[in-house]
């Protein structure tokens, strides 16, 4: 599966996404031909290499000759709906633009069809959105991933006046997306960038297991203390089984108050144990006992053994190395009627195995009174749809 990972170390915008895609090798003429199916005019596209600090990337500039800088959301959506774009491209573009319009509608408390998209209502926004979807399609990208997003600080001048950074539309679009501050003053994530990445990204977090093929850089318009670039890493998902080695620590205990077991388990997990479990056993002379088993990362063995000695009656443990074979997995955030929910996804021969996170389901069940089995079933259905 061909994927792209956007490393947003200094933010993301529509033109930075386009720049990164061209830097990865997107064919300009083929892209322009597909973009022409939008059937709009009044703009031209300039593409050039640009240096930002020590990095060189591609800068894309949409020069708009049309002086209309804002339109109603309905007008923007009609342009895309009535175009000759391929169905897949049109649907994804409409989804992004609709979410941007919904964010503005929510902020200004106006009906979706009446909301004005001031800075977001220009042809350049439409080209950024549709052009990004086209570019991903032409590069053969089947899935998009992203890092968490850094939010800038300060204020920005808009048609609505002076607004805090991130702009209200941006922060509205980033609900459920992991964000952080890198201390840079200025707008790092634009509403267009937020709309595209929050709609298209499969998950946000560290780079997945990928065999890297190409790396591209998309240049931003402003200059900051660190390079104003968006890094895009393109490659194939590495879905082979993964191997690791851990240490198993075993100890038989027959002279300890069993009430201590729960406390001991918590302590061992706090220390970094990968798994802890107890097995009822019978020792010599048929004495009932408990076998404590701890799976530990190799580098934590000494610390975990010290916890066992300190918190139990044991004076000796057994340790041995084991090889662990794992399927590649990742945590994906799924939008549900109850909010964002984490789902664990693993892969076997390209087929996904999905399991909602128990703690998230438990919290929803307790908060809403919905039986937890119903919660898990609904989340599983939504997760399978997204992954397919």
pLDDT at residue 116 in the model: 58
Tokens 């898990």 sit on residue: 376
| Helix 301-311, helix 260-271: angle, nearest 10 | 160
pLDDT at position 335 is 86
**Hey, where are the domains in the chain?**
2-237, 242-326, 329-387
pLDDT for 203 = 86
What pLDDT, on a 0 to 100 scale, did the predictor assign at position 114?
A: 60
CB-CB contact of 340 with 333 (8 Å) = yes
List the structure tokens of 213: 């093929």
Below-50 pLDDT ranges, the chain: 118
CA distance linking residue 67 with residue 190, whole number of Å: 21
CB-based contacts of 213-217 (< 8 A; 24+ apart in sequence): 214/24, 214/25, 215/24, 216/19, 216/20, 216/21, 216/22, 216/23, 216/24, 216/25, 216/57, 216/58, 217/19, 217/20, 217/23, 217/55, 217/56, 217/57, 217/58
pLDDT in the model for residue 121: 53
Helix, strand, coil % over all residues of the chain, rounded to 5: 35, 35, 25
Q: Which fold has domain 242-326?
A: Alpha-Beta Plaits (3.30.70)
């Amino acid at each position: 599966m061909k994927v792209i990972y956007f490393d947003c170390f200094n933010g993301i915008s529509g033109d930075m996404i386009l720049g990164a895609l061209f830097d990865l090798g997107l064919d300009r003429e083929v892209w322009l031909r597909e973009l022409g199916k939008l059937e709009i005019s009044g703009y031209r596209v300039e593409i050039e290499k640009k240096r930002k600090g020590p990095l060189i990337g591609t800068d894309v500039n949409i020069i708009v000759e049309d002086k209309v800088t804002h339109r109603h959301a309905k007008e923007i959506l009609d342009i895309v709906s009535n175009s000759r774009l391929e169905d897949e491209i049109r649907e994804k573009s409409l989804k992004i633009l609709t979410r941007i319009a919904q964010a503005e509608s929510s902020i200004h408390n106006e009906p979706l069809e009446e909301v004005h998209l001031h800075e977001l209502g220009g042809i350049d926004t439409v080209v950024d959105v549709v052009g990004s979807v086209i570019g991903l399609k032409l590069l053969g990208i089947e899935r998009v991933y992203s890092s968490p997003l850094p939010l800038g600080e300060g204020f920005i001048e808009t048609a609505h006046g002076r607004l805090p950074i991130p702009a209200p539309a941006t922060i509205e679009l980033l609900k459920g997306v992991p964000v952080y501050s890198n201390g840079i003053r200025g707008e790092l994530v634009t509403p267009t960038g937020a709309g595209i990445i929050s709609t298209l990204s499969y998950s946000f977090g560290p780079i997945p297991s990928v065999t890297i093929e190409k790396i591209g850089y998309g240049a931003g318009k402003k200059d900051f203390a660190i390079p104003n670039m968006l890094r895009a890493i393109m490659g194939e998902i590495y879905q082979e089984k993964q191997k690791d080695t851990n240490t198993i620590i075993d100890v038989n205990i027959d002279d300890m108050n069993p009430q201590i077991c729960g406390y001991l388990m918590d302590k061992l997990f706090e220390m970094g144990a990968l798994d802890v479990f107890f097995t009822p056993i019978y020792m010599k002379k048929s004495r009932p006992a408990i076998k404590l088993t701890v799976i530990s990362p190799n580098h934590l063995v000494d610390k975990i053994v010290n916890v066992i000695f300190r918190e139990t009656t044991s004076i000796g443990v057994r340790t041995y190395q084991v090889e662990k074979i794992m399927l590649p997995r990742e945590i994906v955030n799924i939008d549900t009627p109850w909010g964002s929910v984490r789902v664990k996804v693993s892969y076997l021969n390209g087929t996904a195995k999905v399991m909602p996170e128990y703690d998230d389901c438990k919290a929803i069940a307790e908060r809403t009174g919905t039986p937890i089995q119903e919660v898990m079933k609904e989340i599983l259905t939504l997760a399978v749809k997204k992954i397919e």
